Amino acid sequence: PPRIEISPPPTHLQHSPPPAKTLAEICQEVKVLTRPIMAELRSYSSPPIPVRRTLVAVLMLLGEDKKQLADWSNVLVLMKGRGKESLITRLCEFEGADKKVVREVRRLTRDMTRVEVHTAGKSVSSLFSWVERVCYEESSREDV
């Protein structure tokens, strides 16, 4: 009989197992990718949807107003922060997000997969991993 191959289901944010990497490990990845990420972001006049949603999710978890993030130019300004306002500093010093924001981020990213984000914007996939880990850790705190 013909051999039937069954593909595993996509790894969606809401239903994915815990990301393999810790926030500290992801932060180190992002530190290495900062220049490529920024160069990739500046190249977009209108980024692919998975890239845009990932960045909006990151910035929402970092406490930015969702309404301000509707304008891509505002996202770019926030991504270019320096010193204590730099993306890396903010990611690495992250201590938690409001439960309501985490729920909003889950809704925003629920149909996205790691593969889809990586395909749309290779450099941004480490930021998606950060979002996954934060949402996983925040939901774990809710369960306790």
Q: How far apart are CA 61 and CA 115, in angstroms?
A: 22
Q: How far apart are CA 17 and CA 56, in angstroms?
A: 22
Among candidate residues 73, 62, 49, the one with its CA nearest the CA of residue 23: 62
The model scores a pTM over 0.85: no
Both tokens assigned to 36:
């490529």
Alpha-carbon torsion, ordered 115, 110, 130, 102, to 10 deg: 180
**What is the number of other CB atoms lying within 10 angstroms of the CB of residue 107?**
12
**pLDDT tens-digit profile of 93-131?**
888 888 999 999 999 999 998 889 888 887 788 889 889
Q: How far apart are CA 138 and CA 142, in angstroms?
A: 6
Q: With cut-offs at 50, 70 and 90, classify the pLDDT of residue 29.
A: confident
